[in-house]
Amino acid sequence: MKYIDLESIVVPERVALLDPVRANRNIKAADKIAANIAEKEAARLDEGALDPYTNRIVAIWGQDSQGVEWGWHDGLGGNETLALASAWDWIGNDSICGFRVDFDLRVMVIRSWILGVTPHTIDFNRYRSRSYVDLMQKLTCDWSEDQHRWKSLKAYCRLLGVDVPEDDCAGKDIGDLVAAGEWDQVEAHVRADVARTAALAERLGVR
């Protein structure tokens, strides 16, 4: 079993390649049309880090079932293309486990396509996949329709009594940390998330 986590940030130049946003049809005044378009463009930019077609990976970290780590982030040098190729090699034929790893793997696959890296073939059908285990699915008993009830990885650890040291940042902070060159904090966060994932998996009996 390989436990993984990644962090990504938006690439504005890629957001610019999307189809133009349009104002709501019921808006007629020119100034309100411009404001509505600006609001939608800002929202699209804010959400761009969560779209594999408009983001880029800045950190990938992993740990195997023996606790041996593998990892990369921009601050270590190299580039995303080499990191993805290395990550797929590191995963090998092992099963993958992560918290919302359904998202992480989609990012890895699509970013691999864009960068010309050959990804693994991942079966994203959650009901038959043998490629990965998503802890969010297990922790919610597949309560996929009630996303407002989902909790953070840290919260699940606290609620289930999993004692893993907490870092001081969250995924939403990664863009600012990258912009500031705070790679030590980026690494600390992604490593902590992997440690939390492995500990939760053990608590849930995921092997």
Would you list the DSSP string of 17-54? TSPPP---TT--SHHHHHHHHHHHHHHHHHHGGG-TTT
Question: Confidence class of residue 174 from pLDDT cuts 50, 70 and 90?
Answer: very high
The CA-CA-CA angle for residues 158, 160, 164, to 5°, reads: 50
CATH code linked to domain 2-7+63-204: 3.30.420
Helix, strand and coil in the chain, % to nearest 5: 50, 15, 35
Look at the pTM and tell me if it is higher than 0.85. yes
Count H helices and E strands in the chain, helices first: 8, 5
Mean pLDDT value of segment 29-44: 86
* pLDDT score recorded for residue 172: 85
Task: Tell which residue, 199, 131, 137, 133, has the closest CA to residue 164.
Answer: 199
Question: Confidence class of residue 45 from pLDDT cuts 50, 70 and 90?
Answer: confident
User: Does the pLDDT of residue 143 top 80, yes or no?
Assistant: no
> What gap in Å lies between CA 170 and CA 144, rounded to an integer?
22
* pLDDT score recorded for residue 170: 84
* pLDDT score recorded for residue 130: 73
> Tokens 């049309």 correspond to what residue?
33
Are the C-beta atoms of residues 1 and 20 closer than 8 Å to each other?
no
> What gap in Å lies between CA 170 and CA 183, rounded to an integer?
14
Least reliable range by pLDDT among 4-8, 64-68, 126-130: 126-130
* pLDDT score recorded for residue 125: 79
Task: Tell which residue, 28, 65, 107, has the closest CA to residue 198.
Answer: 65
